Amino acid sequence: MTSSAPPLQRTILQRLLQELCPDCQRLPGPFPVWHGPCPGAQWWPLAQRIHQAGGRLVALWPDAHATLLHVTYALEETLAWVWLELGKAQKIPDLSPLFPAANRLQRAAVDLADFSLAFDAPDQRPWLDHGCWLREQSAPPQPYAFVPVTGEGVHEIAVGPIHAGIIEPGHFRFSVVGEKVLRLEAHLGYTHKGAAARWRQRPALLGHELAARLCGDSTVAYSWAFCMALEAALDWRVAERTLWLRALLLERERVANHLGDLGALGNDAGFAVGLAHFSRLREDWLRLSKALFGHRLLMDSILPGGVRTDLDKTQCALLHAQCVALEPELLTLRDIYEGHAGLQDRFGTTGQVLPGLARQLGLTGLAGRASGMAADLRCHGNWAPYNALDVQAALREEGDVAARVAVRFDETLESLRLIRLILDHLPAPGPAVAAQQNLASTHAVRGLGRVEGWRGEIQVALQLENHRDSLTLRDIHLHDPSWQNWPVLEHAILGNIVPDFPLINKSFNLCYSGHDQ
Amino acid sequence: MWKLFNQITRHGLCTEKPGSLTRPSSATSLTPDTNHGSDPGLTQTPSEIPVLCAAPRDLAPHEAHQRLLKIVGRALTIRAVDAGSCNGCELEMHALSNPYYNLEGAGIRFVASPRHADLLLVTGPVARNMVQALLRAIEATPRPRYVVALGECACSGGLFGESYATHGALSEVTPVDLCIPGCPPEPGFILQCLLTFLERLPASRLPA
Ligand code: SF4
């Protein structure tokens, strides 16, 4: 009996694209990505139809020369990456009524494109550009126009950009009555480093070094997403063992961050013992990373086409033993956290984002999974090795600090299981992958990588070009899930008291550097 | 609960043997880039800024405390300023407070306001959007104050360097007393650099 290929099932997104943007093509890579131009007249209808079908906006950015505006939408596991050709004096429809995250993405796009594009949106304030950049056209340096709240007894508290603790810079403006927060507005962009421009000046194959340094807590996730995009664009085949080792690194990064956050969350609720223990566990974790992979935060451990270090049997045993030792400690600490009346009093119903609001605002990643948004890339697509690991995504419905703490505990335990599974089934080192060709393809090629980092989905979209016989990046954009989640944090704090803000903020633990870039 | 407290007493205070702190392996290669044109108004050019490339020797936290008491005779207070870092340096600064390094046990404390600080630990390639806040924080720190560049980005500009959005090295915008290289420098190394720096300060520059 001859077996025939199963009929290709078209996803909803694919059908929509076929109807509205018929020139879309599938890009290579572990996730189905459809890429192509979007006719100007279809920009809004496409967004609307995707919104109706339950899709979400992932990223929006202008290309380096401000001639194209790119947008990516995700629906289930399929991703649509479409671009709009920018004409002169054309006002682009505002997507923020459909996808609230579009507001800041569009404002950032205007800043990055040197004001050469305009959106038909009510909010025209600059976002990343504070009027300090060395460019021909920059926003005039003037105070940011926060939305004022008026009424009897309302006053403002301004915090930042330098915060009291050791955290990244950003400004928060609270409007409060007594202790109660009526409105919070964040102003970010303080750590903008012009990373995309720097990338374009460097050889594409060294781009992973920058990717590792965009956000120090998600260095593995960014490096992998970058390498995935690059490998997809060059159509490189990566050894099976490499992919498994990358997943091992990604899970180790997830555990390290969750350990840090769980301790800090206990501390912010006045439970210093929690911080002492979790920071001790985290330090043990980082020291083994240093010993086996050469870097405590695992920077530069993923390279285009490979990983920096392989593991031998003894090293695998060490990693395995560390998971075995950590698990009972974690379970004990979870019992203590869950049984401690003082902690639960601070965690419960604090900073609540209910599933309805989460869906409406497009909350993603870890915070999304604490508010009933069941999205975890590790459970989807043909992403090796996760397609062989049967990842159990954490899910809670309550949407408060307690739920975000619970998701962290669940995910850490799941990661410990995954690490052991990976170690047990690590494919044997295969023959060295044949010298990678394709370095000299003549025309520009695009690639896209998606990785579920500990904070949520990280996306890297890039375009390569062959410039005087060396491979460079013509365009690159990295997207951090914090773009979606920062505006939700502003909702989560409403009606809470000011002293709970550090706790709520920590429970989201959003990224500044990855957001500002 | 008792089990927890027991563990803290076991792991929490001065339990590490001398020699257990790890040295950064790559430190020597991360000296500041002296090619940067320096502001003639600076009191020190980047090449004159002391860079501690290798830790003098390993050090246990209780020993660190003794040395600190000998040098400054009181606590050292630090204000961290992130001038566009990737958060990697911040994570390692956080690690300094964990029970292994037990920073507060050594008499060093991170404080919330620059007005309470003796020393500013500045990270990142000095994003132009952060310059105003950074200079204000330095101004707000009482003298004698020390400005320390932490991490390769602040030391030399790192991978990001100078661009339309960044100044590059911290010494491009303000006089710097010490560079602690590393990407990010490891906590034990940060501690050793700070202590060695204080030890070498002339008496006239010590906090009163
Ligand atoms: S020195 Fe390294 S870790 Fe520190 S901010 Fe720069 S890139 Fe990040």
Confidence check: pLDDT of A100 > 80: yes
Tokens for A61, please give them.
């950015």
A242, A473 in Cβ contact below 8 A? Answer: no
Q: How does pLDDT run along chain B (208 residues), one tens digit per residue?
A: 334 334 433 443 333 443 443 333 333 333 333 333 333 222 233 445 555 444 444 556 566 666 666 665 567 899 999 999 999 999 999 999 898 887 887 778 899 999 999 899 999 999 999 999 999 999 999 988 899 999 999 999 999 999 999 999 999 999 999 999 999 999 989 988 888 887 777 776 766 5
Residues A185-209: pLDDT tens digits?
A: 999 999 999 999 999 888 888 999 9
A161 and A273 part of one domain:
no
Separation CA B49–CA B68 (nearest Å): 22
Size of interface A-B (CB pairs under 8 A): 151
User: Whose CA is closest to atom 2 on ligand 1?
Assistant: B183
Separation CA A238–CA B8 (nearest Å): 45
- At residue A315, the pLDDT reads 93
Give, to the nearest 10 degrees, the angle between helix A501-508 and helix A401-424.
30
A381 and A412 part of one domain:
yes
Closest CA to A223 of A281, A288, A308, A337: A308
Q: Quote the mean pLDDT of chain A.
A: 88
Closest CA to A205 of A457, A450, A464: A464
Confidence check: pLDDT of A349 > 80: yes
A119 φ, ψ (degrees, to nearest 5): -105, 150
Confidence check: pLDDT of A172 > 80: yes
The residue in chain A having the minimum alpha-carbon distance to the alpha carbon of residue B164 is A134
The residue in chain B having the minimum alpha-carbon distance to the alpha carbon of residue A210 is B159
Maximum mean pLDDT: which of A272-286, A426-440, A460-474: A272-286
Q: What is the ipTM of this complex?
A: 0.91
A166 and A208 part of one domain:
no
Name the residue range of residue A112's domain: 7-120
Longest distance between any two alpha carbons in chain B, whole Å: 61
Q: Which residues on A lie below 8 Å from B163 (Cβ)? A: 193-194, 197-198
- At residue A99, the pLDDT reads 92
A252 and A110 part of one domain:
no
- At residue A226, the pLDDT reads 95
What's the CATH code, domain B76-205?
3.40.50.12280
Query: Where is pLDDT greater, at A102 or B70?
Result: A102
Q: Report if residue A127 sits inside a domain.
A: no
Q: Given CB atoms, is B110 within the 8 Å cutoff of chain A?
A: yes
Q: Report if residue A107 sits inside a domain.
A: yes
Q: Which residues on B lie below 8 Å from A132 (Cβ)? A: 128-129, 131-132
- Which of A190, A216, A279 lies at the smallest CB-CB distance from B88? A216
A427 Cβ contact partners less than 8 Å away, ≥ 6 residues apart: A240, A241, A244
The CA A194 to ligand 1 mean position distance, Å, reads 15
Q: Given CB atoms, is B7 within the 8 Å cutoff of chain A?
A: yes
The CA B160 to ligand 1 mean position distance, Å, reads 10
Q: Determine the atom of ligand 1 nearest the C-alpha atom of B184.
A: 3
- Residue A13's pLDDT band, with cuts at 50, 70 and 90, is confident
Separation CA B184–CA A165 (nearest Å): 18
Give the domain ranges of chain B.
2-71, 76-205
A24 and A58 part of one domain:
yes
Q: What is the 3-state secondary structure (H, E, C) of A290-311?
A: HHHHCCCCCCCCEECCEECCCC
The residue in chain B having the minimum alpha-carbon distance to the alpha carbon of residue A162 is B81
Q: Which ranges constitute the DSSP H helices of A384-461?
A: 401-424
Tokens for B170, please give them.
């911290």
- Which of B11, B86, B164 lies at the smallest CB-CB distance from A216? B86
Q: Which residues on B lie below 8 Å from A332 (Cβ)? A: 3
A22 φ, ψ (degrees, to nearest 5): -70, -10
A207 and A223 part of one domain:
yes
* Chain A interface mutation, best of B9, B23, B92, B98, highest count of A Cβ atoms under 10 Å: B98
The CA A503 to ligand 1 mean position distance, Å, reads 26
Strands A78-85, A68-75: parallel, antiparallel or unpaired by DSSP?
antiparallel
Tokens for A17, please give them.
């694209």
A215 and A168 part of one domain:
no
Strands A171-177, A180-187: parallel, antiparallel or unpaired by DSSP?
antiparallel
Q: Given CB atoms, is B172 within the 8 Å cutoff of chain A?
A: no
Query: Where is pLDDT greater, at A103 or A7?
Result: A103
Tokens for A444, please give them.
């520009």
Q: What is the 3-state secondary structure (H, E, C) of A167-213?
A: CCCCEEEEEEECCEEEEEEEECCCCCCCHHHHHHHCEHHHHHHHHCC
* Pocket of ligand 1, beta carbon within 6 A: A 213, 216; B 85-86, 88-89, 123-124, 151-153, 158, 183-184
Residues A52-84: pLDDT tens digits?
A: 988 899 999 998 888 889 999 998 888 899 998
The residue in chain A having the minimum alpha-carbon distance to the alpha carbon of residue B5 is A273
Separation CA A372–CA A354 (nearest Å): 8
Q: Given CB atoms, is B86 within the 8 Å cutoff of chain A?
A: yes
Q: Report if residue A140 sits inside a domain.
A: no
- Which of A216, A294, A336 lies at the smallest CB-CB distance from B91? A216
- At residue A2, the pLDDT reads 38
- At residue B61, the pLDDT reads 57
Contacts of range B140-144, beta carbons closer than 8 Å, 24 or more positions apart = B140/B113, B140/B114, B140/B115, B141/B79, B141/B114, B141/B115, B141/B117, B142/B115, B144/B118, B144/B205, B144/B206, B144/B207, B144/B208
Q: Report if residue A138 sits inside a domain.
A: no
A302 and A219 part of one domain:
yes
A419 φ, ψ (degrees, to nearest 5): -60, -45
Contact A191 B7 (CB under 8 A): no
- Which of A133, A169, A279 lies at the smallest CB-CB distance from B82? A169
Domain total in chain A? 3
A301 and A389 part of one domain:
yes
Q: Report if residue A429 sits inside a domain.
A: yes
- At residue B38, the pLDDT reads 31
- At residue A130, the pLDDT reads 87
Q: Given CB atoms, is B140 within the 8 Å cutoff of chain A?
A: no
Cα A85 to Cα A392, A474, B208: the distances in Å are: 41, 17, 64
Q: Determine the atom of ligand 1 nearest the C-alpha atom of B85.
A: 5
Q: Report if residue A137 sits inside a domain.
A: no
Confidence check: pLDDT of A131 > 70: yes
A372, A355 in Cβ contact below 8 A? Answer: yes
Residue A175's DSSP bridge partners are: A156, A183
A431 and A290 part of one domain:
yes
Q: Given CB atoms, is B22 within the 8 Å cutoff of chain A?
A: yes
**Element of type H or E holding A445:** strand A445-452
Residue B179's DSSP bridge partners are: B51, B149
Q: What is the 3-state secondary structure (H, E, C) of A71-103?
A: EEEEECCEEEEEEEECCCCCEEECCCCCCCCHH
Q: Report if residue A194 sits inside a domain.
A: no
A275 Cβ contact partners less than 8 Å away, ≥ 6 residues apart: A263, A264, A266, A267
A349 and A476 part of one domain:
yes
User: Whose CA is closest to atom 6 on ligand 1?
Assistant: B153
User: Whose CA is closest to atom 7 on ligand 1?
Assistant: A213
A316 and A449 part of one domain:
yes
Cα B165 to Cα A135, A330, A437: the distances in Å are: 9, 42, 36
Residue identified by tokens 């936290």 is B61
Q: Given CB atoms, is B93 within the 8 Å cutoff of chain A?
A: yes
- At residue B15, the pLDDT reads 37
Cα radius of gyration (chain A)? 23
Confidence check: pLDDT of A359 > 50: yes
- At residue A296, the pLDDT reads 95
Q: Report if residue A196 sits inside a domain.
A: no
Cα A400 to Cα A260, A266, A349, A379, A487: the distances in Å are: 19, 15, 5, 24, 16
Mutate to test the pocket of ligand 1, among B51, B89, B155 (most ligand atoms within 8 A of CB): B89
Q: Given CB atoms, is B24 within the 8 Å cutoff of chain A?
A: no
